[in-house]
Structure 1
Amino acid sequence: MSTKKAARRERILNGVIDLLAGRGLEGVTHRAVDEAAALPQGSTSYYFPKKSALLGAAAEHLAGLLEKDCDELQVGFAEKAAAEGLDAAVAYVAEELVTYTDASRHLFLARMELTLAAARREDLAGVGVHLTAAARRPIEFFLKLISEGREDVPIETCAALIDGISLMYATGQGPKPTTEQVASVFKSIL
């Protein structure tokens, strides 16, 4: 795929994510995506003739965005741990996750929309599981790292707690997570 086509495709997928976050699944139409991506009418249909293909590609793109953020967080954690120790690195990760909840609210909302759609639509089967795994990857990574691979650590439970607190806030159903809340979940396994 040419660079121009790849850039256009990315604009389309970012437009879908923005529409999912702002208008929900029903707000995602080929025409609305063209408008959101500031592309000529018919552009989205050219790349994704069916809405299910468009949503599937948006889910993959969203998972990639979540994975990218995880990679950046891992580097920061390693640097902080080497320079200041494990406690400082845990506090750093907690602060980053709280900041991420605000900065990436639209990603949380798009994830929720796609996850709900996947629960109802056969053509999106597996999307919710894939997105949840991508979103929880950074949390699970740090829990495994600080637990030093111990088998008795409830990693899935701890990751679900942090993910749930973040999702409740992103959807307006709960208070903003605090660094102390997130750090306490991490530290509970030390």
Structure 2
Amino acid sequence: MSTGKSDRRMTLLNGVIELLATRGLAGVTHRAVDVVSGLPQGSTSYYFPKKAQFLIAASELLAEFLEKDCEDLQVGFAETAAKNGLDAAVNYVADELVTYTDESRNLFLARMELTLAAARSDELHGIGDKLTAAARRPIAFFLKLISDSEEVPIETCAGLIDGITLMYATGQGPKPTTDQVAAVFRSILQTTD
């Protein structure tokens, strides 16, 4: 019986993420979540009486998605580095991030919406920090692994990657290329040598 409730809750949270990505925060209402989730009217209100509750729960789910993506990236990087060397591993990570900009555009946009909402709302305090940390974890892992320096400018690199991705995701710039992202990593690493 609890599996049905858990499935319904997950369906609602996926609906929240979809709406954040497609309509922004203003388009996320209890009724809209019910509709996009294909569930009866009142379903969202039953599980999440207040909007802040489902936004917090959606941010936790989004952070879980980002953590899983990070783990997959770490495994792929390690395998590529072991088989083909560090330079190939840098290109692998860059290619994965470029692929992610298309395949997970909705997750990126939802993360940006929730981060902005958290900056403006005391009820959502901490969401932005949690999502940013989850999104930057693979970059931090990767840079620390390939750098000899103790002081790797993770924030600078992550900011550049986020900026390139944001421009593309919002239609303001071209799709990033593997070479472009790899160049960001390499230039950051050169400043630490």
Unpaired runs of at least 5, structure 2: none
What corresponds to 2:47 in structure 1? 47
Is 1:78 equivalent to 2:51 in the alignment? no
Q: Is the 8 A contact 1:165 1:177 kept in 2?
A: yes
1:153 CA displacement: 2.3
Find the counterpart in structure 2 of residue 35 from structure 1: 35
Preserved contact between residue 136 and residue 163 of structure 1 (Cα < 8 Å): no
Give secondary structure in 2 for the equivalent of 1:124: coil
- Offset at residue 3 of structure 1 (A): 2.1
Please report how far the alpha carbon of residue 79 of structure 1 lies from its aligned counterpart in structure 2 after TM superposition: 1.0
User: Which residue of structure 2 aligns with residue 12 of structure 1?
Assistant: 12
CA RMSD of aligned residues (A): 1.4
* Match in the other structure for 1:91: 91
Q: What are the superposed Cα offsets for residues 78-104 of structure 1, whole Å, 9 maximum, x if unpaired?
A: 111111111111111100100101111
Residue 169 (1) aligns with residue 172 (2): no
| Superimposed CA distance per residue, residues 132-187 of structure 1 (whole angstroms, 9 cap, x where no aligned partner) | 11111111111111114x22322221121112211221122222111111111222
Deviations 1:94-133 (A, max 9, x none): 0010010111111111111111111111111121121111
Offset of residue 2 of structure 1:
2.4
Distance 1:20 1:153 in 2: 33
Give the residue type in structure 2 aligned to 1:15.
G
Q: Residue 101 of structure 2 corresponds to which residue in structure 1?
A: 101
Separation in 1, partners of 2:151, 2:123? 37
The 3-state SS of whatever aligns with 1:122 is coil
Question: Equivalent residue for 2:69?
Answer: 69
SS in 1 for 2:123: helix
The residue aligned with 1:114 is 114
Shift of 1:40: 1.5
Distance 2:134 2:166 in 1: 14
Report the counterpart of residue 178 of structure 2 in structure 1: 179
Structure 1 contact 162–182 (Cα < 8 Å) conserved:
yes
Letter in 1 for 2:161: I
Superposed CA offset, 1:21-59 (max 9, x none)? 111111111111111111111111111111110111111
Q: Runs of 5+ in structure 1 lacking a partner?
A: none
Alpha-carbon distance in 1 for matches of 2:130, 2:170:
20
1:171 corresponds to which letter in structure 2?
T
How many residues get paired? 189
- Give the alignment's TM-score, normalised by structure 1: 0.94
After TM superposition, the structure 1 stretch with the greater mean CA deviation from structure 2, 167-176 or 5-14, is 167-176
Q: Percent identity?
A: 75
